[in-house]
Amino acid sequence: MQSLDIMDSIELMYETGWTDGLPVVPPTRERVRRFTDYLLPRSPDELIAEVPPLGGMATLEKVAVNAVMAGCLPEHMPVVIAALEALVDDRFNLRGVQCSTGIHTPLVIVNGPIAKDLNINSGYNCFGQGWRANATIGRAVKLVLVNLGGAIPGETNKSTFGHPGSYTYCIAEAEEANPWEPLHVEMGFSPDDSTVTVFPAEAPHNIMYHASNSRDFLTVLADSMCTLGNVQMYVMGSTFVVLGPEHARFLAQDGWSKRDIKAFLFEHARKPVGLLRRGGPPQGDSQRAHLWPKFVDPSDDDQRVPVVRRPEDIFIMVAGGAGGPHSAYLPGWGSRMVIKKIELN
């Protein structure tokens, strides 16, 4: 009888539209209280964020409801809350991300000690299935965006295709495999700080390179970053490179710093204006010219347009399995990534 009641509750969630299409854990009063009690002395009524596009009020209790439905543990709550606070930062432009016709969706990246404490996957299949923390933290964030923000597919959410990251999109950086400083330290935080970074990312684009010539690899990577039809070439904003441990290792052994890699990619991940016009808006590139760096003349077909406005807009992290010569590229959407410290009790 109890299992029937649970199934009835799950069906009720479907009827009310409070799911992402997958079954959810029924958010009973007792389950939600365990989550809010974990954050005491913070009040369940504390407002965490006003979530666009419909401006839903994400109180701590309402976030807990969605975290329960996603299958989170109470200790996941600080990550979910920090991610939501970062998402409503003006630099991220969550309203635009939620309502665009583009394929992108918010990615959550976790750095610092909490990633290991919560067993957030940064290695093999880190963008895939099989890890509770990754799956449920990312899913909780997405449920809040739908249930409180009102990002309903086909209504306010106009994404033409979307991608599987719209269910859940959360990884950690493989800091122990990183030969350089990790992402959060590069951004000014202490190694002992735990942080969450949010970024409007397309699905990962795999970059395969089986040799060990670092300059050749970066040339392959640069070419993969500036393909025709890649929205990043027209909207600029932040963009992410996820280096696999094997590629990161031989780059560092050859003396490449993160700054060197960014400078190389900025100079080589470019396409001529004339080619971009073929893949650009039907009105031509003049409407997008104000987004390009000032040194680009949009009327000169031979001018080469970089994938970002500045080298600093390319962000680099290390993740993935240690035994494969693969990396990944995550095109953005035109807004900025935002990083925030995770506040722990």
User: Over the stretch 102-137, which tens digit does the pLDDT of each residue have?
Assistant: 999 999 999 999 999 999 999 999 999 999 999 999
292 in a domain, yes or no?
no
Evaluate whether residue 279 is within a structural domain: no
DSSP one-letter string for 39-102: TTTS-TT-EEEEETTTTEEEEHHHHHHHHHHHT--GGGHHHHHHHHHHHTSTTT-HHHHHH-SS
- For residues 39 and 74, give the distance between their C-alpha atoms in angstroms, rounded to a whole number: 9
Distance of CA 200 to the CA centre of its chain: 5
What contacts 191, CB < 8 A, 6 or more positions away?
112, 182, 185
User: What number of helices (H) and strands (E) belong to the chain?
Assistant: 13, 12
Summarised one tens digit per residue, pLDDT across range 44-83 is: 999 999 999 999 999 999 999 999 999 999 999 999 999 9
Give the Å distances, CA to CA, from 208 to 173, 224, 229, 254: 20, 10, 20, 19
In a domain, 139, yes or no: yes
Q: Is residue 71 part of a domain?
A: yes
- Nearest 5°: the CA angle 266, 306, 219 is 50
Tell me the pTM: 0.94
Q: Is residue 278 part of a domain?
A: no
Residue 17 within a domain:
yes
Domain that holds residue 121: 2-269+307-341
Task: Please report, in tens digits, the pLDDT of each residue of the chain (345 residues total).
Answer: 344 577 888 898 888 889 999 999 999 999 999 999 999 999 999 999 999 999 999 999 999 999 999 999 999 999 999 999 999 999 999 999 999 999 999 999 999 999 999 999 999 999 999 999 999 999 999 999 999 999 989 899 999 999 999 999 999 999 999 999 999 999 999 999 999 999 999 999 999 999 989 999 999 999 999 998 888 988 889 999 999 999 999 999 999 999 999 999 999 999 998 888 876 654 444 555 567 888 888 889 999 999 999 999 999 999 999 988 999 999 999 899 999 999 987
Euclidean distance between CA atoms 124 and 127, whole angstroms: 8
Report CA torsion sign: 43, 47, 51, 56: positive
Considering the domain boundaries, does residue 79 fall inside one? Answer: yes
Q: Please report, in angstroms and rounded to a whole number, the separation of the first and last CA atoms in the chain.
A: 39
CA distance 233 to 228: 8
Structure tokens at 59: 């109180």
What is the domain count for the chain?
1
Domain presence at residue 301: no
